[in-house]
Amino acid sequence: MRHLPIKSQLFKENRKQLSELLVAKSLAVVNANDVLPTNADGSLVMHPNSDLFYLSGIEQEESILLLFPDASDPKSREVLFVREPNEHLQIWEGYKHSKEDARKISGIRNVKWISEFPGLFRILMCEATSAYLNCNEHKRAGVEVETRDDRFINQCKRDYPLQNFRRLAPLLHDLRVVKNPVEIDLLKEAVSITEKGFRRILKFVKPGVTEYEVEAEWAREFISRRAKFAYSPIIASGKNNCVLHYLQNDQTCKSGQLLLLDVGACYANYNADLTRTIPVSGKFTRRQKQVYNAVLRVIRASIAGATVGKLHSDWQKESEDMMTEELLKLGLLKPAQVKKQTADRPAAKKYFMHGLGHPLGLDVHDVGDSTKPFEAGCVLTVEPGIYIPEEGFGVRLEDDIVVTNDGPVNLMAKTPIETDEIEAIMNR
């Protein structure tokens, strides 16, 4: 693992919380992600399964976690299965967890090799009255590709057709949406690395640099600090500001343009998510600053409005109402357009067409039920924007916050956002 070790107490506590939610005499199984193929004999670097990491800290391929809190044999109440190291793997792939390594990382005493899973699983399935199986139930997930969990579910249904199967994902979603102090600290590290990257970019950007050169500077900062990109970075200059998920990153930044940077670091599998919009020449034009400050007012008011007990839909509507007022002041909307708006088609959507924010954590668009009120410990992104294709630019700003009983805490409070501070650093 690239990141510094995490104390196993985090994973022990997460398993304890999940075990308390399982019905009596039931077991639960979580699989590692697949190693995905590319072309010929190539494969992608495996991305750890977020649920498996949350419960065990294990990031290695083919690993399986089995929880059975009511198992008659105490040794079978928590079992971790990992690949058995051998000389061939050592030569071709390098380090694989020993049993002692896996125990130290996860805090699970009973660690077995993968080859032992089928036999023990059958014994425990015959003892259990129900089984929780896991799959990706994120509402926006693409489900075209069959996953390791999907194959395991199908196999279980064939081998144990009379077993009572239950969904594990809803339980994990409820647990993962609320972060504990250790998780908040890991998120703060990802945010700190992202801030350092942004300050580096402010000193680097000038007319004539390319978007991919800017991306390379982010990579240099992240990798040197044990991190990686949390998602494919958006480095969008000029009219590309208005493409919400622009990924080309191949244009030259020109004087007078804005450069929209939507980039975050991933540290220990916890993700930051930052957006800033900066002037390529080091100074905003009057119009750019007007639009920028309008977005800045909305993000600050929206951060203040992220309070315990609020529904996401209400939070979104409040931001759209604020944005409508800003768009009227900017001359982008007319009162007649606002009068014609409906609940389903707010006038602000013409220039602010996406959501205000999303849960953040082990996944960039983290799991959680958006129909439930905000709870203390929820981590959210706040990312309003105004996109004006007819004027050739857009502005988006994004911070990461923690909802607390004492009000929201901005994790990115130290990351430059005021126009004067950005200009000062760029021209220093």
pLDDT, tens digit only, all 428 positions of the chain: 799 999 999 999 999 999 999 999 999 999 999 999 999 999 999 999 999 999 999 999 999 999 999 999 999 999 999 999 988 888 888 889 999 999 999 999 999 999 999 999 999 999 999 999 999 999 988 878 899 999 999 999 999 999 999 999 999 999 999 999 999 999 999 999 999 999 999 999 999 999 999 999 999 999 999 999 999 999 999 999 999 999 999 999 999 999 999 999 999 999 999 999 999 999 999 999 999 999 999 999 999 999 999 999 999 999 999 999 999 999 999 999 999 999 889 999 999 999 999 999 999 999 999 999 999 999 999 999 999 999 999 999 999 999 999 999 999 999 999 999 999 999 98
- Classify the C-alpha dihedral 76-78-82-86 as positive or negative: negative
pTM assigned to the model: 0.96
pLDDT of residue 129: 97
What residue segments make up the domains of the chain, in order of their start?
Answer: 9-175, 181-426
Any residues with CB less than 8 A from the CB of 292 and at least 6 apart, and which?
277, 284, 395, 397, 419
- Classify the C-alpha dihedral 185-136-226-399 as positive or negative: negative
Three-state DSSP class for residue 246: coil
Give the separation between CA 138 and CA 365, rounded to whole angstroms: 9
By CB atoms closer than 10 A (0-12, 13-18, 19+), residue 217 is middle
pLDDT of residue 373: 97
pLDDT of residue 345: 92
Which residue from 249, 231, 235 is spatially nearest to 358, judged by alpha carbons? 231
Which residue from 10, 310, 341, 409 is spatially nearest to 180, judged by alpha carbons? 10
CATH, range 181-426: 3.90.230.10
Using DSSP bridges, classify how beta strands 130-133 and 234-237 pair: parallel, antiparallel or unpaired.
unpaired
pLDDT of residue 142: 83
Q: Does domain 9-175 have CATH number 3.40.350.10?
A: yes
